Amino acid sequence: MPRIAIGIEYEGTRYCGWQRQEHALSIQQVLEEAVSRVADEPVIVNVAGRTDAGVHAAGQVAHFDTAATRDPRSWLLGVNSNLPHDVSVSWAREVAPAFDARYSAVARTYEYLVLNRPARSALWAGRAWWLHGSLDVEAMRVASRCLIGEHDFSAFRAVLCQARSPMRRIEFLDIKRSGPFVRFTVRANAFLHHMVRNLVGSLIRVARGEVPPEWIHQVLVGRDRRAAGMTAPPAGLSLVRVHYPQSWDIPPPDQWPAGDGDL
């Protein structure tokens, strides 16, 4: 039975997240319904990362198995024609049966966007966290250095996080300002539930001058979620890339602004 991999983009504002829920609309539901129509059979779609309610994706990856025979263009056009306006498939291709969108991944990159200006935005309301006070980006950059590498991130995981281990390895973390926007880019081998949003919420305390940069390290080694900052709102968070070994030939996303570019 062929295994098909797909790249997915979505604006997550009106969804309860990736995973199906009985009384709420999910990305998984609308995508499985669209794929099943094209395949003319029920299809289960397996995803690289289960994003939360209100979280977006530019580089989500998923796979599904089907007895249907379609070429990549037919999957792409057919599925997109059955999806709502805020979910789309960016590519489709047949992959080896051993490929797994989740377990074949070696890292994931998330970006979090803050809009830092006096007035709120109608256009960016669902895509960025609006903060009107002054933010010290350099202080956040200094504070974030202790987070690079492998650590116990218990202080930055959700209370209901079901991960067996709090150990994660952050491979890259950068914070940059572009006009009124502040962008956090974080790549890790894996993430705990709410980990990026909790990191951002804590770093914002540093940016506001509420705590010194070394406070982040104190929270990290303290391993106590209650000592960290707030959980940043979901609207600013996007899964921008899932990283795989080159041997799988999974294309990177190509429609998201570069991390150091203008918005």
Active site residues: 52
| CB contact burial 88-118 (16+ within 10 A = b; e otherwise) | bbbbbeebeeebebeebbebbbbbbbbbbee
The H-or-E segment that residue 200 falls in is helix 195-207
d(CA 95, CA 7): 13
Residues forming a β-bridge with 61: 7
Q: Are strands 107-116 and 129-131 parallel, antiparallel or unpaired?
A: parallel
The H-or-E segment that residue 172 falls in is strand 167-178
Q: Which DSSP category does 17 fall into? A: B
| CB contact burial 217-236 (16+ within 10 A = b; e otherwise) | eebbeebebeebbebbbbbb
d(CA 12, CA 141): 28
d(CA 263, CA 260): 9
